Amino acid sequence: MLMKNLSILPVVGLALLAAGCQSEPSAPAAALGSIDTVALKRAYAGETEGKAVSIYFLRNAAQMQVAITNFGGRVVALQVPGKDGKPTDVVTGYNNLKDYLSQPEAYFGAIIGRYGNRIARGKFQLDGTTYQLAVNNGVNALHGGPKGFHNQVWDASQPDAHTLVLNYISKDGEEGYPGNLSVQVTYRLSEDNQLRIDYEATTDKKTIVNLTNHSYFNLNGDGDSTILDHVLTINADKFTPVDSTLIPTGILQDVKGTPFDFTTAKAIGKDIGASDAQLKNGLGYDHNFVLKPVATAGLREAAVVYSPNTGIQLTVLTTEPAIQFYSGNFLDGTLQGKSGKKYMHRSAFCLETQHYPDAPNQPSFPSTTLEPGKKYQTSTVYAFGKH
Ligand code: BGC
């Protein structure tokens, strides 16, 4: 069966322009290691509803390169040097826009909104009004709905070679959410191999917001068959257990003594096969980890993961209170990625910084409500190094 909980990408009316319609950039592909900028520019040149789709490259002098399309703000390639110095692309994705449109949705690399993760039965209330969202994941709403931010064309500007600024206005009522929401997401690459993502939003009517990025990583290199050998630490001593539809039950459970204890470094595969009701519900890890509280606001370390093979290490820092660790359980070999290899079960993982799933229906969870006159502002950093 195709990935059980993935929604089929809606037809978004994207008319791809024929290859070669854009003038050729002069940047030589060789300067970008395995990222072929000329081919990617061609393969991402398109237009939908009068909005141009393209691809943008962030580069630094330390051999890190990131390719991002303004279709869904998706990171389509992210190349970092391993311990042998070899540039390695460590994210899943496709090397052309057509594949994002024709393959079932796995949210590869995308900006997720208006609400990351699940809302029970797609329903929530604000000030006595009940809002009904599109239900696209069994009985629940997932990742902003079929036409969530991952499937929208964002306005893009690139002030310099390190920065990409994306803007999107989500209209009042879009996918069932109240209020015109004006969103800005900025990707910035530093000279020390940190990809920083700043999220900002304002609304003209009370609404809910929970934005994240849905990059899937394999630090052995894109297309490698497993992530179970990766060694992970999560700075969380509690997680939110879920029911069989992956909606939090409302309690915070201690990770101590459970397969969810990543407080000290552990291979992802070590306990994933344990007989455990929560692992059964998630088909593996697909849970919200509550980050240890900190005294001061600002970025703090949420998770560290490395590949013993390549020595590539990813540290995730965030201002968010939680992180979803998803071990790629619904990948089943159906999707074929940019390397030509199929994405197999647990061949990539996500670490999605966030507020808790279903928070609008769970009064004890930190609030995700945004009011007019207030600014939603969060930051997450994917910092790459060597182990
Ligand atoms: C969810 C998974 C889902 C995946 C892709 C993750 O954020 O927690 O349940 O399968 O996204 O849709």
**Lowest-confidence region among 9-13, 73-77, 135-139, 251-255:** 9-13
| Mean pLDDT calculated for residue range 233-240 | 98
**The pLDDT of residue 5 is above 70:** no
Ligand 1 binding pocket includes 324 (Cβ within 6 Å): yes
Q: Do the Cβ atoms of 75 and 44 come closer than 8 Å?
A: no
Q: Which residue type occupies 326?
A: Y
- Residue 42 Cα to ligand 1 midpoint, Å, equals 30
pLDDT score at 33: 55
Distance CA 37, CA 29 (A): 5
In the residue annotation, 24 being an active-site residue is answered as no
What is the number of the ligand 1 atom nearest to the C-alpha of 112? 7
CB within 8 Å of 226: residues ≥ 6 apart? 218, 220, 269, 344, 346, 347
- Residue 125 Cα to ligand 1 midpoint, Å, equals 24
What is the number of the ligand 1 atom nearest to the C-alpha of 116? 7
**The pLDDT of residue 120 is above 50:** yes
pLDDT digits (tens, 9 = 90+) for 269-315: 999 999 999 999 999 999 999 999 988 889 999 999 999 999 999 99
pLDDT score at 35: 82
| Mean pLDDT calculated for residue range 246-269 | 98
Mean pLDDT of the residues in the chain? 91
Q: Which of 6, 381, 63, 10 is nearest to 196 (CA)?
A: 381
pLDDT grade, residue 2 (50/70/90)?
very low
- Tell me yes or no: is domain 224-370 CATH 2.70.98.10: yes
pLDDT digits (tens, 9 = 90+) for 185-212: 999 999 999 999 999 999 999 999 999 9
- Residue 227 Cα to ligand 1 midpoint, Å, equals 16
pLDDT digits (tens, 9 = 90+) for 69-81: 999 999 999 999 9
In the residue annotation, 214 being an active-site residue is answered as yes
Mutate to test the pocket of ligand 1, among 112, 350, 352, 356 (most ligand atoms within 8 A of CB): 350
pLDDT score at 103: 87
- Residue 143 Cα to ligand 1 midpoint, Å, equals 8
pLDDT digits (tens, 9 = 90+) for 9-61: 333 333 333 333 333 333 333 334 578 899 999 999 988 767 999 999 999 99
Exactly one of 174, 175, 352, 355 is catalytic; which is it? 352
pLDDT digits (tens, 9 = 90+) for 123-133: 999 999 999 99
E strand or H helix that includes residue 163: strand 163-170
Ligand 1 binding pocket includes 326 (Cβ within 6 Å): yes
